[in-house]
Amino acid sequence: MPRPRRRTDPAADLSRTLVAAIEANTATVSVIGQGYVGLSVAAAAARAGMRTIGVDLDADRVASLSSGQQVVPGVDDELFVEAFATGRLGFTTDPAVVGDSDVVLICVPTPLIDSRPDLAAIEGAGAAVGRYLMPGTLVILESTTYPGTTEQVLRPLLESHGRVAGADLLLAYSPERINPGDHAHGFAGVPRVVGGLTEHCTAAAAAFYGRLVDIVHPVSSCRAAELAKLLENTYRLVNIALVNELAQLCADQGIDTWEVIDAAATKPFGFQRFEPGPGVGGHCIPLDPAYLTWQSRRDTGRPFRLVELAKDINDQMPSYTARRIMDSLNRRGIAVKGSKLLALGVTYKPDVGDVRESAAIQVLAHLSSWGAKLSFHDPFVTSIDEHGVKLRRRRLTEDLVRDADAVILLTPHATYDLDEIAGWSSLLFDARNATGRRDHPDIEVL
């Protein structure tokens, strides 16, 4: 009696074929979006041995990157240089390259508009990818978003030309985990979370990231991976809010906030150090938790109360910081109106040239509205035109510092000689305790 023929699973065959190509370095990769997320993963894929094409709508950015100029803030320069030197990293504005790709990553912005997620970039990228996609391709979404986006928003766009995700198309989600300016945690050293539409999708995506990073952590679904990303940054938002409110309490009671934090941090378990500041900024911490609170209200009708409260506390920190600066001036008999204030550092974090959601600029906006005469220096920023503040960078000199009624250290870049600046200043307001000199008569710390 003849043996029955073994039925094969087309999706399993696609996954095995793709994994073999990835392991043999014959897979071609396209990365849609060449911001700091897309360019970083494109460079990592090229460095790992895969032919990689970065796709972006910005023709000037594409031209610069194609000539070997690293023009994207937040991308590790060494990673880009190494990848470009391989000759495997190219750039284009034409999404049709997706048709020749085995792996397609979507790394596009997902901002908030009126506190609601704006998925227009994902929708546009999904439509473009769906137009050119070939059967057997693995598509991975990396953009931060709420749970369900990969399956409910991206999947229909990819399937609009007759393909079926999970059958003749592999689909997964893997949240980016890049910390711009953090040289201690390079791209390869940060584990990757991966969740696919099916187990075969997850296996293929895990194989791809396994070539780029040391550790891959698979989860059961796209939704689990999407929510893991939101949890990471919501955790940070909540704990930053805790120490920001603690700083206000300590100021009211005459207690040294930083002494309290230093003491608590000596505990070897059950405590992780977070530090207060003028507010949160960047694309992740201010925005990612808002996806969570928005979805909770939309899908369950319940507010995510702890997260919403934490956001409110952090949102108040720029105005609180500005009031603390005003109080410091008042104690020296200087009115904020007409005072000459020099701000040092206006990016959202040290040693990164990114002003998105920068709390430092919001602090300046409050001071400007009260009549202060502002100037600023930042090694990464040549001009400001946000929140009603329009300024051009000044050259940082001893005369500029001495001429100011107060120097406001908002973002302590490594290039600043803080001892020298403190010596020149009649009053230095240190919003980050970067000087560590809280007992100095001419230094005040948030």
Residues 160-205: tens digit of each pLDDT: 988 899 998 999 999 999 887 777 788 999 999 999 999 999 999 9
Number of domains into which the chain is organized: 2
Residues 267-293: tens digit of each pLDDT: 999 999 999 999 998 878 888 888 889
Is 157 part of a structural domain of the chain?
Answer: yes
Q: Do 271 and 190 belong to one domain?
A: no
Q: Which of 220, 237, 271 is the last residue of a domain?
A: 220
Residue bearing the bigger pLDDT, 73 or 379? 379
Q: Which of 168, 185, 220 is the last residue of a domain?
A: 220
Is 416 part of a structural domain of the chain?
Answer: yes
Q: Do 262 and 203 belong to one domain?
A: no
Q: Do 191 and 301 belong to one domain?
A: no
CATH code at position 331: 3.40.50.720
Task: Give the pLDDT band (50/70/90) at residue 262.
Answer: very high
Q: Do 278 and 386 belong to one domain?
A: yes
Q: Do 381 and 297 belong to one domain?
A: yes
Q: How far is CA 379 from CA 131, 244, 345, 436, in A?
A: 43, 27, 8, 22
Q: Do 21 and 170 belong to one domain?
A: yes
Residues 6+ away with beta carbon under 8 Å from 163: 130, 133, 135, 169
Is 163 part of a structural domain of the chain?
Answer: yes
Q: Do 208 and 122 belong to one domain?
A: yes
Per-residue three-class SS string for 109-165 = CCCEECCEECCHHHHHHHHHHHHHCCCCCEEEECCCCCCCHHHHHHHHHHCCCCCCE
Q: Do 254 and 207 belong to one domain?
A: no
Query: Two tokens at 330?
Result: 């008042």
**What residue numbers bound the domain in which 381 lies?**
245-445
Residue 3 in this model has a pLDDT that exceeds 70: no
Residue appearing with tokens 């040239």? 353
Q: Do 35 and 171 belong to one domain?
A: yes
Q: What is the mean pLDDT of residues 239-243?
A: 97
Is 229 part of a structural domain of the chain?
Answer: no
Residue 5 in this model has a pLDDT that exceeds 60: no
Q: What is the mean pLDDT of residues 256-266?
A: 96
Q: Do 45 and 132 belong to one domain?
A: yes
Q: What is the mean pLDDT of residues 287-310?
A: 91
Is 227 part of a structural domain of the chain?
Answer: no
Q: What is the mean pLDDT of residues 331-335?
A: 96
Is 398 part of a structural domain of the chain?
Answer: yes
Residues 20-60: tens digit of each pLDDT: 999 999 999 999 999 999 999 999 999 999 999 999 999 99
Residue 6 in this model has a pLDDT that exceeds 60: no
Q: Supply the pTM of this predicted model.
A: 0.91
Identified catalytic residue from 201, 222, 250, 284: 284
Is 234 part of a structural domain of the chain?
Answer: no
Residue appearing with tokens 């791209």? 187
Q: Do 179 and 256 belong to one domain?
A: no
Residue bearing the bigger pLDDT, 29 or 115? 29
Q: Which of 151, 186, 220 is the last residue of a domain?
A: 220
Q: Is 284 a catalytic residue?
A: yes
Is 73 part of a structural domain of the chain?
Answer: yes
Residue type, 137: T
Q: Do 205 and 345 belong to one domain?
A: no
